[in-house]
Homo-oligomer: A and B are copies of this chain.
Amino acid sequence: MVFKVTILGSNSAIPTIKRNPTAQIVNHNEHLYLVDCAEGTQVQLRRNRIKMQRINHIFISHLHGDHFFGLIGLISSMHLLGRKKDLHIYGPPQLEDILNLQLEVSLTVLNYPMIFHPINPDAHDLIYEDANLTIKTIPLKHSIPTCGFIFKEKKGKRKIKKDAVQTYNIPKDQMLNLKNGEDFIDEEGNRIENKQITDDPFPIRSYAYCSDTNYYEKIIPLIMGVNLLYHEATFTKDFEEVARAKFHSTSADAATIAKKAGVEKLLIGHFSTRYETVDQLLDEARKIFPNTDAVTDGNVYEIE
């Protein structure tokens, strides 16, 4: 089951020719989730050959422009290109007013249902769920109400071993019980232990997205042990005071959180435009948490 993150924007604040501001596509089981949507995101989708109409769920972390100014354009393009199916948007309540006002002034009645789900950025709420995945909010510490999102697979079913069906002559109607961990009683009444018939399920995988935020230890228990953590790292250590004042993080902050939360891998992004290269940001993070990557627009990270 595919689980990967495509970076559509890695800059903070301002779009440049090289780096777009924040947007990401999380692909879980071929369902596409858009996380934040800066100006230019729809072109970034084209550039990365991701079909915009495949996106059914959009999550907006907060109402700073570099995280949502591209949303109204994406919604409009989906409309102009003939979308019919539901689009679910999760974000701060005022976002709905902003979208509706802009649709009203252009006398646009969308061809498709746009379903807005207001979120409470101060809570750790379950906001999305399907058979295989949950998405919860992560309260962050920023200058306006802001939350991250954690994507976590549900506990998988046990996998029936290749030859077991034939060996034990297992009828179809017993399969689900076995996948759920029950033992098998064969036709002669023999009990065969579940472990003999099934393998352990795939481990539960998870991805946490934390942008924008100051250094904030309260998120640690919420993201403990995730496979992949994206944590903003707007500044280098020499701008730590600026970072604190602007409710942003240094790359050392991001790495410290990653280390304390025992995550597998850290991605840093949301870089200040002051940095021509990200070398210093990455070096400072890796000294604390070696398994760190600095993201670039177009990067894809698979969660194995």
- Point out the residues of chain B lying under 8 angstroms from A47, CB to CB: 17
| Binary contact track A87-100/B, C-beta < 8 Å → 1, others 0 | 00000101101100
- Point out the residues of chain B lying under 8 angstroms from A297, CB to CB: none
User: B39 contacts A17, CB within 8 Å?
Assistant: no
| Assembly stoichiometry (copies) | 2
- The residue that A101 contacts in the complex, of B13, B73, B98, with Cβ under 8 A, is B98
Quick one: given A14-B80, A43-B40, are A102 and B98 in contact (CB under 8 Å)?
A: yes
- Point out the residues of chain B lying under 8 angstroms from A107, CB to CB: 143-144
Inter-chain CA distance A39–B64, complex, in Å, is 16
Residues of A within 8 A of B (CB): 13-17, 39-40, 42-43, 46-47, 63-66, 69-70, 72-73, 76-77, 80-81, 92, 94-95, 97-98, 101-102, 105-107, 143-144
Give me 19 A-to-B residue pairs in the complex whose CB atoms sit less than 8 angstroms apart, sorted by A's number: A13-B80, A14-B77, A14-B80, A14-B81, A15-B77, A16-B43, A17-B46, A39-B42, A39-B70, A63-B105, A65-B72, A66-B76, A94-B101, A95-B105, A98-B101, A98-B102, A98-B105, A106-B144, A107-B143
A39-B70, A65-B102 given; 5 more Cβ-contact pairs under 8 Å: A14-B77, A15-B43, A39-B39, A63-B102, A69-B73
